[in-house]
Amino acid sequence: MATAKGYVGKVVIVTGGGRGIGAGIVRAFADSGAQVVFCDKDVSGARALEQQLPGAVFIPCDVTQEAQVKALVSETIHRFGRLDCVVNNAGYHPPPQWLEETSAQGFRQLLELNLLGTYTVTKLALPHLRKSRGNVINISSLVGVIGQSQAVPYVATKGAVTAMTKALALDESQYGVRVNCISPGNIWTPLWEELAACTPDPTATVREGTLAQPLGRMGQPAEVGAAAVFLASEANFCTGIDLPVTGGAELGYGCKASRCTPVVLPTFPS
């Protein structure tokens, strides 16, 4: 999915850019004309993506390790002399678990990645973003607003990312730095497929995920990428917003109780 050349000469860091939504974002910014530096713990997949995209540079980095994040930002500035946008995408969704099946240690590890990783990358990038009057894009999730069954720790981390986005947008407005987030719904990625495989009936799970959208399909990583490029390059009067990329999954009523039967509203002749 090609994107208009609307970010030529800009420099972007994308975390977790080796596959899935992150790779879609990397491709979209590269297509827009930007220089893209991306990191991922999956070195082999990231190297393959780097080979495909002349405008992209892969630097290994674990966003839970502050020293590695410092090196990522420093190397970006050393190579390109500036930084215009950071996309905090690195994150993980654990398999479905009831709260009693979770552990405090597992929750802490998820917080380190999904929330504190976003905090650390943003904090270290801000001095450079203030110089360029750039912007931050956090990848949150629809479930951070509407909730999700058997996913309390994940929902909590993503709800915090959305809230942090709004607070930071207020603080950084004085420097001309915009801070926004994207909340994807069901996007077909390797992680979605892996999580579906953990369920008793993966085929039924995929079908349920597909039918959750009024548009009748899941989204694609390229569509999240296009939204990120829009926020970075065109949405100049937008800060502190949460942009749903969901296919309308949050709209309308749905069966949520265990013995629910669909509500069929009566129709009347016009």
Nearest to 85 by CA among 43, 40, 30: 30
- Residue 131's region, left for phi above 0, alpha for psi from -120 to 50, else beta, is alpha
* Domain extent at residue 232: 11-189+219-245
116 found inside a domain = yes
250 found inside a domain = no
196 found inside a domain = no
Residue given tokens 């296919």 in the structure block:
247
CA distance 154 to 135: 25
229 found inside a domain = yes
Q: Region 113-133: what's the mean pLDDT? A: 98
Return phi, psi of residue 56, to 5°. Answer: -125, 145
CA distances from 243 to 28, 110, 184, 227 (A): 17, 23, 8, 8
Q: Residue 135's pLDDT band (boundaries 50, 70, 90)? A: very high
Q: Region 13-20: what's the mean pLDDT? A: 97
pTM reported for the whole predicted model: 0.93
Instruction: Classify the C-alpha dihedral 59-182-28-123 as positive or negative.
Output: negative
CA distances from 5 to 56, 83, 189, 222, 233 (A): 15, 18, 25, 15, 10
Among 7, 92, 119, 154, the active-site one is 154
CA distance 240 to 45: 32
194 found inside a domain = no
Q: Residue 255's pLDDT band (boundaries 50, 70, 90)? A: confident
Is 7 a catalytic site residue?
Answer: no
3 found inside a domain = no
The pLDDT > 90 percentage for the chain reads 87
179 found inside a domain = yes
CA distances from 94 to 51, 152, 192, 194 (A): 30, 10, 11, 10
Q: What is the CATH number of the domain that holds 117?
A: 3.40.50.720
178-206 pLDDT per residue, tens: 999 999 999 999 989 998 998 899 999 99
243 and 231 Cβ atoms separated by less than 8 Å: yes
Q: How many structural domains comprise the chain? A: 1
168 found inside a domain = yes
